[in-house]
Amino acid sequence: MFIGHFAAGFAARTLALKGSLPAYFAAAQLPDILWPVLVLAGVERVTIAPGDTAFTPLRFDSYPFSHSLALDVVWGLLFAAALWRVTRNARAAWVSAALVVSHWLLDFVTHRPDMPLLPGGPRYGLGLWNSVPATLVTESLLFALAVWMYARATRANDGIGKHGLTALAALLVAAYLGAAFGPPPPSVAAIAITGIAGALLFLALSAWVDRHRSGWPAGERATH
């Protein structure tokens, strides 16, 4: 899953407005931020294998440290502790911890049975990626709903807040469709480097957009 994780970040921003969109994006994407670093280090493994599932040419051979449920809980607690130290907001911290764990749950739905509960333990997955139409519909609906929630829960302070949100959502969709329908990546190193660069780009863009939006005053509701 790709934009489904960003959907979780957008939705979380509406549940805990004291946090920030980039923080919630980072939490929702944390396993995928750790994964390319571990792949480059040779700790985790992926193979370019077109046809392994209908939706992605990647076969995730081993990612016990970034994508096992047990360690995602640990990463979530560590992320929450760091966020609480910065913000002193318990609600935002707990929401961020839930976001990290949500990564495993969403991937469990989309992946074939390659999602480990424990490092070296049994692996599970419902295999939504075996159907391209079902994957596109599911992720697109989640993403559209979450962006709508974020747009309703916050208001643009200026043109950047308004049009920047549209641009951010459009770029995420474009990256998603490019990964879904583009050619297989040329190498594992290219996958990892692109993953790191993409994470940094979308975190920076989300911070830029979020700084130009704010919550609605008490008693006032969004009508647009």
- Each residue of 146-200: pLDDT tens digit? 999 999 999 999 999 999 999 999 999 999 999 999 999 999 999 999 999 999 9
3-class secondary structure for 144-205? HHHHHHHHHHEEECCHHHHHHHHHHHHHHHHHHHHHHHCCCCCCHHHHHHHHHHHHHHHHHH
CA pair distance 197, 218, nearest whole angstrom: 38
pLDDT band at 216 (very low <50, low <70, confident <90, very high): low
Residue 105 belongs to a domain:
yes
pLDDT above 90 as % of the chain: 90
Q: Is 187 exposed, middle or buried (0-12, 13-18, 19+ CB in 10 A)?
A: exposed
| CA 106 and chain centroid, separation | 10
Residue 118's pLDDT is what? 96
Boundaries of domain holding 206: 3-214
Residue 28 lies in a domain: yes
**pLDDT greater than 80 at residue 219:** no
pLDDT at 224 over 50: no
Taking the C-alpha atoms of residue 62 and residue 45, their distance in angstroms, rounded to an integer, is 5
- 174, 167 Cβ separation under 8 angstroms: no
Structural domain includes residue 219: no
Domain assignment present for 42? yes
Contact assessment for residue 3 and residue 143, using Cβ atoms and an 8 Å cutoff: yes
Q: pLDDT (tens digit, 9 = 90+) per residue, 38-76?
A: 999 999 999 999 999 999 999 999 999 999 999 999 999
Phi, psi of 54 (to 5 degrees): -70, -25
Task: Say if CB 19 and CB 95 are below 8 A apart.
Answer: yes
Q: 73, 84, 181: which is closest to 132 by C-alpha? A: 181
What total of structural domains would you count in the chain?
A: 1
Please compute Rg for the chain using Cα positions: 17
Tell me, yes or no, whether 221 lies in a domain. Answer: no
What's the Cα-to-Cα distance from 222 to each of 45, 78, 151, 191, rounded to whole Å? 46, 35, 9, 40
> Taking each helix axis from N to C terminus, what angle separates 21-40 and 69-87, rounded to the nearest 10 degrees?
130
Q: Is residue 179 part of a domain?
A: yes
What predicted TM-score, i.e. pTM, was given to this entire model?
Answer: 0.94
Task: Decide if 223 is inside a domain.
Answer: no
Predicted pLDDT at 16 = 84
Residue 223 has pLDDT above 90, yes or no: no
